[in-house]
Chain A
Amino acid sequence: MDTPSKSMDFGNWTTQVRKGLLELCIVNLLAKGELYGYDLVKQLAGVRGLVVTEGTIYPLLSRLRKSGILKTRLVESSSGPARKYYSLTREGYQDRERLNGYWNELSLGVSEILDNQGDQS
């Protein structure tokens, strides 16, 4: 990883970038099917470069559920308390389409700039 520049708050910049991407990752992981909360968090925590503190995902999941993007259901478990599974609502799938569309467009545009910079150097 690059050494943080003294002229910008690199840590804060990456935090802001990753914050937005976390929601993108959640809706895409759940687009494949419902996931047990613990497994979902572990998958997100394992996303390279996202560097998520595991506990911080639960408030986000709760907010996404409150806003109607996610829904949950409890499934009985033989090894302990009932497990909460998360899945996308219809609004969640629509949200995913919008987020993915924006991300694709943005990453394409940014890549073009970065590629041009590479050509000049």
Chain B
Amino acid sequence: MTGWTNEATEYLDGYLTQVAVLAKLQGDDADDIVNGLRDHIDHEVHAATDGTIGIDTLLVVLETIGAPSDVASMDAPIRYETTSPPKTPAEIGRDVRPKSKSSVALMGCGGIMVIAVIFSVLGLMGVVITNIVDPEAFSNNVIVGKSSYETFNAHGQALNPSNNIEYRAECAARLKKIYDGLVLYAAAHDGLLPPMSMKTSQPMFDIKALYPKYIESESTLTCPVDEIVGKKSRDGDIHQDQSFLYLSHGVYYEPVGEKFINAYTEAFRSTQPLPDMIDEKSNDPLFRLGTTMIKDSPEVGAMMPILIEEYGKHQPPGGHVLFLDGHVEYIDLDEKFPMTTSFIQGLNSIKGKE
């Protein structure tokens, strides 16, 4: 049986995810559409090659299938005729394939140095990975990652196992508290989550949106691991001592994530707020997240990350992620989006614009 390369498999999954999300938003049966598409694409790629199915073959097929926004569009089921010659795989790849990680890695020098120091320290310490994960220690609706791990403070000191479990459980619990606050905020703001702050030193909402009205303590925004090294957050403002990176828009896939980073960076540069709909006319528009989506499309809510813990505090690297449906997941670095090196580094590159 012909196999698929990992790159092609991941690309197809991302493509179908985009179709599913857009279809859901329009009230369509996403599973029905995606199953049909997957079957169709499978036919086409097998007709196109006898060998392993790679990204180039897939891209050529997807060109005839259509971009996700076209496929899911209620208004445009038919493409315009064109007199231009068919594109070569290389041209198509240039147009639609995700950028390489290196092209997204725009992290500032400061961030690079901090991460480098952390990893250097960890390497010198000869980290021993121990199986200390206790799923029972976590509240309901928290999904535990694959890895056993140790957690380190900013000095590279491993936390002892008992504390580690507590810290991790507490971090997840704080994310759940933030989520409750976000839901309350949305109820009072047309169902929308807070906008991105334009004053923050990292991708975040303005803490005043939640504190003191919807969360009891501003320290909720800081994980215990950060607290123990003195990274206390301060009243009424966001500083680099917050533990999480926030996403106000539907960022569920690497290329869309890159678009979000670019839009947010541009918003900082122009001092204009981030619009509710980013790149509306493109194939991958970005929309502001709202809680109505959770009720209307739970599956979509479950794939939309809204808060991401910075990954440098755990070994192997990874962190907690809060999703729009309220579940918290511990994700190893590069296990899946949004906990990918390129995306997190891209988000970190926005730091320091205060």
Q: Which residues of A pack against B, CB within 8 Å?
A: 1, 11, 14-15, 18-19, 22, 37-38, 41, 45, 50-63, 65-66, 80-81, 83-84
Contacts and interface: CB of A to CB of B under 8 A. Distances in A.
B136 interface: no
Contact of B39 (A22, A53, A84): A84
A17 B79 CA distance: 12
A54 B76 contact: no
Interface in B76-97: 76-81
Given A59-B28, A59-B33, A53 B70 contact: yes
A62 B78 contact: no
B40 A19 contact: no
B36 A61 contact: yes
15 contacts: A18-B78, A22-B78, A51-B80, A53-B66, A53-B78, A53-B79, A55-B40, A56-B73, A58-B32, A58-B71, A59-B23, A59-B28, A59-B71, A62-B33, A83-B39
A37 B36 contact: yes
Give 6 nearest A-B pairs by CB, closest first. A55-B65, A53-B66, A55-B71, A55-B66, A58-B36, A56-B77
Contacts of A57: 77
Interface in B9-37: 19, 23, 28-29, 32-33, 35-37
A33 to B, nearest CB: 19
Contact of B78 (A38, A41, A50, A66): A50
Nearest to B40: A38
A56 to B, nearest CB: 4
Q: DSSP majority for the B interface?
A: helix
A58 B40 contact: yes
A15 B76 contact: yes
B332 to A, nearest CB: 30
B53 interface: no
Contacts of B140: none
Interface in B22-71: 23, 28-29, 32-33, 35-37, 39-40, 42-43, 64-66, 70-71
A56 B76 contact: yes
B74 interface: yes
A41 B73 contact: no
A15 B80 contact: yes
A55 to B, nearest CB: 4
B72 interface: yes
Nearest to B68: A55
Q: Which of B19, B29, B73, B77 has the most CB of A within 10 A?
A: B77
A52 B70 CA distance: 11
Contacts of B19: 55
B66 A56 contact: yes
A27 B80 CA distance: 23
A116 B64 CA distance: 40
A18 B35 CA distance: 25
Contacts of A19: 77-78
Given A58-B33, A58-B71, A59-B72, A52 B79 contact: yes
A58 B40 CA distance: 10
B28 A62 contact: yes
Nearest to B19: A55
A40 to B, nearest CB: 10
